[in-house]
Amino acid sequence: MTVSARGWVTRMLPVLAGMMLGGLLMLVGLAQAGRLAGKDPEAVVALAQQMQVLHRKVDLQLRAKDVAGAIEALEDARTLPWPDRERGGDLGMELRHDVYGRLVRLRLDHPDVAPIEPDALLALVDEGLGPEPDAVDPNPFTARLMALRGESLEGQGRDDEALTAYERALDINRTLLERELGDVP
Amino acid sequence: MSTGNDSRAQPGQQPTPGVVDPAGGWEDALRAGQEAEGNAGSVDAELAIVHLLRHARAPQGLADTQFDANWASIEEAIAAEGRAASDATGAWWRRPWAWVGGTAAAAAAAAVMLMVVLPPTPTPETTPAIAQAPAQPKTASTAAMVERQFAILAPKAREQQVREADDSRDTLRSSLLADAIAADGSTP
């Protein structure tokens, strides 16, 4: 290698290193595209632990056929200080949609246990979905809660709105399936 | 019928010309006799036989013009008979209405095939109607379908949640450690 060639490589080395670093960052960005990380990791960790305990408790209650106790435990979770999406990120919203979805499912399957009015049930679903459910990165918990909103609307005879909710749920699951197949980053 | 033409020659007389001799004047005599009897009866049949015999004795050729004229009349008669037979027996492919009707039928069949083979393109006007029509029967099955999809997708999503929670825990731990180190460093 001549002296001039070595000089050219020396000059270009920072450029090549920058290109490699840029490509690496691009791949990481694509992998995390659309997924919002919470700004408050402490709140996310605490919430995840609380939800883990709550789900275990509800599992045990349902195994003991204590539907009323399970519904009561999940209803209590409504009073938790749920972080918003900016603070808790998409993970916080998923945890919230998961708990509300389980509660609404139980209420729909057991309408005679601690019954509530159809409007109250729909309000419960909307409370769980939050202000911007479509902004949350696609996940099965949001899709399920959206479909449960469709069931609640259907129970009120609002079939057109129910159909719209079902289609949104199916769209989310379709995106998840495409991700599994590698068509969508 | 007596024609008055006896061809048997009497002794001492000049032989009378034969019937088939065109110069014999027999035809004139025959016509004269007919007139004498008041034009009673017909001699046409006898004359036709005589003409035939005369022609057999001395065949007479036809002039070309006469020959062509005869054939023209024969061809005309044959063509007229052919048209009549065609109309009677029903050669349908020669009839104009068959071609017109057949063409129209083929065009209609092609149009139907196009409609069947080509998928209909939804228009902006028809799309909402299509989306709204099956609303009632679709909802119940869709709810069940989403529940089935949830049962399949949820386990993996929960694993993802655990990993993200662990990441957040690591971040929190690092942050707390950094704060503790900083606090230690600042401690006199």
The confidence score (pLDDT) of residue B120 equals 57
Q: Does B145 touch chain A (CB under 8 A)?
A: yes
Kindly tell me if the per-residue pLDDT of B17 is higher than 70: no
- Determine, yes or no, domain membership for A18: no
| Residue A174: alpha-carbon gap to chain centroid | 15
Q: Averaged over B147-153, what is the pLDDT?
A: 91
Residue found under tokens 């769209």: A171
Structurally, how many domains does chain A consist of? 1
pTM, full prediction:
0.54
Q: Using CB atoms within 10 A of its CB, is residue A13 exposed (0-12), middle (13-18) or buried (19+)? A: exposed
Facing residue for B168 by CB, picked from A41, A139, A169: A41
Kindly tell me if the per-residue pLDDT of B15 is higher than 70: no
**Which A residues, 36 through 55, put their C-beta within 8 Å of a C-beta on chain B?**
38, 41-42, 44-45, 48-49
Q: Averaged over B150-157, what is the pLDDT?
A: 91
Residues in chain A: 185
Kindly tell me if the per-residue pLDDT of B135 is higher than 60: no
Backbone phi, psi, residue A37, to 5°: -85, 140
Q: Please indicate whether residue A185 or residue A84 has the higher confidence score (pLDDT).
A: A84
Tell me the nearest-neighbour CA distance from B158 into chain A, angstroms: 9
- Determine, yes or no, domain membership for A118: yes
B121-134 pLDDT, tens digit each: 544 444 444 444 44
Q: Return d(Cα B115, Cα B142) in angstroms, integer.
A: 31
Domain ranges, residue A152 = 34-181
Q: Which residues pair with A37 in a beta bridge?
A: A89
Q: Please indicate whether residue B85 or residue A92 has the higher confidence score (pLDDT).
A: A92
The confidence score (pLDDT) of residue A11 equals 77
| Residue A11: alpha-carbon gap to chain centroid | 48
- Determine, yes or no, domain membership for A12: no
Q: Averaged over B25-45, what is the pLDDT?
A: 77
B-interface mutation test, from A91, A171, A177, most B Cβ less than 10 A away: A91
Q: Return d(Cα A33, Cα A27) in angstroms, integer.
A: 10
The per-residue pLDDT of chain B, averaged, comes to 74
Residue B168 with chain A: CB contacts under 8 Å: 38, 41, 44-45, 48, 91
The confidence score (pLDDT) of residue B173 equals 86
Q: Return d(Cα A142, Cα A131) in angstroms, integer.
A: 13
Q: Does A154 touch chain B (CB under 8 A)?
A: yes
B-interface mutation test, from A51, A106, A154, most B Cβ less than 10 A away: A154
Q: Which of A76-80, B94-98, B140-144 has the lowest mean pLDDT?
A: B94-98
Q: Does B37 touch chain A (CB under 8 A)?
A: no
Inter-chain touch B146–A147, beta carbons under 8 Å: yes
Kindly tell me if the per-residue pLDDT of B109 is higher than 80: yes
- Determine, yes or no, domain membership for A19: no
The confidence score (pLDDT) of residue B23 equals 64
Q: Averaged over A119-135, what is the pLDDT?
A: 94
Tell me the nearest-neighbour CA distance from B111 into chain A, angstroms: 36
- Determine, yes or no, domain membership for A158: yes
Q: Does A183 touch chain B (CB under 8 A)?
A: no
Inter-chain touch A95–B161, beta carbons under 8 Å: yes
Residue A162 with chain B: CB contacts under 8 Å: 135, 139
A128-179 pLDDT, tens digit each: 999 989 999 999 999 999 999 999 999 999 999 999 999 999 999 999 988 8
The confidence score (pLDDT) of residue A185 equals 61
- Determine, yes or no, domain membership for A90: yes
Kindly tell me if the per-residue pLDDT of A14 is higher than 70: yes
The confidence score (pLDDT) of residue A107 equals 96
Using alpha carbons, select from A128, A95, A31, A164 the residue that is nearest to residue B154. A95
The per-residue pLDDT of chain A, averaged, comes to 88
Q: Does A96 touch chain B (CB under 8 A)?
A: no
The confidence score (pLDDT) of residue B18 equals 62
Map residue A37 onto helix, strand or coil.
strand
Inter-chain touch B161–A160, beta carbons under 8 Å: no
Helix (H) or strand (E) holding A46: helix A41-63
Position B147: which residue type? E
A17-67 pLDDT, tens digit each: 777 766 665 555 444 556 777 778 888 899 999 999 999 999 999 999 999
Kindly report the CATH number assigned to the domain that includes residue A168: 1.25.40.10
Position B93: which residue type? W
Kindly tell me if the per-residue pLDDT of B5 is higher than 60: no
B42-78 pLDDT, tens digit each: 778 878 887 788 777 777 677 888 889 889 999 988 8
Number of DSSP helices (H) and strands (E) in chain A, helices first = 7, 0
- Determine, yes or no, domain membership for A65: yes
Q: Averaged over B178-183, what is the pLDDT?
A: 85
Tell me the nearest-neighbour CA distance from A73 into chain B, angstroms: 20
Inter-chain touch B147–A147, beta carbons under 8 Å: yes
The confidence score (pLDDT) of residue B119 equals 58
Q: Return d(Cα B52, Cα B63) in angstroms, integer.
A: 19
The confidence score (pLDDT) of residue A138 equals 94
CB B135 within 8 A of CB A163: yes
Q: Which residue of B has its CA nearest to A173?
A: B149
